[in-house]
Amino acid sequence: MGKGILKYYEQSNGTNNNTILDLCCGTGTLLLNFAENSYQGMGIDISADMLAVAKENLDEYRDKVKLVERDVTEFEVTSKYDLFTSTADALNHLPDLNALESCFKCVKDAITNEGLFIFDINTPGGITRGEGMALFENESVFVLRNESFEQLNNKGISIVYGMLVSDLN
């Protein structure tokens, strides 16, 4: 996904605006794509465990990418960023619309005038259409995902079971 966003961004903005802030950056895979292409950036995530993996993944670029443990609903930056991203339904992890609004306000204060915010988000319609089981498997992982939507609480529920194939050998 990171490579697609990088390509889209460079086609629409050129390569001069090269600072990125990835919200809910997880293990830093998107930031890695950008760091490999001379971007400077920051990743924000609330989970110390995810950031520990991101730190390993981005070790080669530690001078270019800062990783910060913080809630994306209440962050501030000292200088503005050209590109904001948030992928893999990360913003769906926020508890409610107020939290999403707070996050968007933080982005508004931290983005350059011509900046771009690229994110994906699941909607109730999308979750309802995607309800059911999905299996993903390759040589190293086996993942089973069960999606459902609770009409009463207006909440999507995603249960993910995963196994590293190396554990099975």
Ligand X SMILES: C[S@@+](CC[C@H](N)C(=O)[O-])C[C@H]1O[C@@H](n2cnc3c(N)ncnc32)[C@H](O)[C@@H]1O
Q: What amino acid occupies position 85?
A: T
Regarding 82 and contact with ligand X (CB under 6 A), the answer is: no
Output 18 or 33, the one with its CB closest to ligand X. 33
Cα-trace Rg, the chain? 17
Regarding 35 and contact with ligand X (CB under 6 A), the answer is: no
Output 26 or 41, the one with its CB closest to ligand X. 26
Q: Which listed residue (30, 31, 35, 111) binds ligand X by CB under 6 A?
A: 30
End-to-end CA distance of the chain: 30
Output 14 or 95, the one with its CB closest to ligand X. 95
Regarding 26 and contact with ligand X (CB under 6 A), the answer is: yes
Q: Which listed residue (21, 24, 31, 107) binds ligand X by CB under 6 A?
A: 24
Output 49 or 114, the one with its CB closest to ligand X. 49
Q: Which listed residue (94, 111, 116, 127) binds ligand X by CB under 6 A?
A: 94
* Structure-token match 């107020």, residue found: 98
Q: Show the 3-state SS of 74-104.
A: CCCCCCCEEEEEECCCHHHHCCCHHHHHHHH
Helix segments in the chain, DSSP class H: 2-13, 29-35, 48-57, 97-110, 124-129, 165-168
Regarding 83 and contact with ligand X (CB under 6 A), the answer is: no
Regarding 25 and contact with ligand X (CB under 6 A), the answer is: yes
| Residue 14: Cβ-neighbour burial (10 angstroms; 0-12, 13-18, 19+) | exposed
Smallest gap from Cβ 3 to ligand X, in A, equals 13
Residues forming contacts to ligand X in the complex (CB under 6 A) are: 24-26, 29-30, 44-47, 50, 71-73, 87-90, 93-94
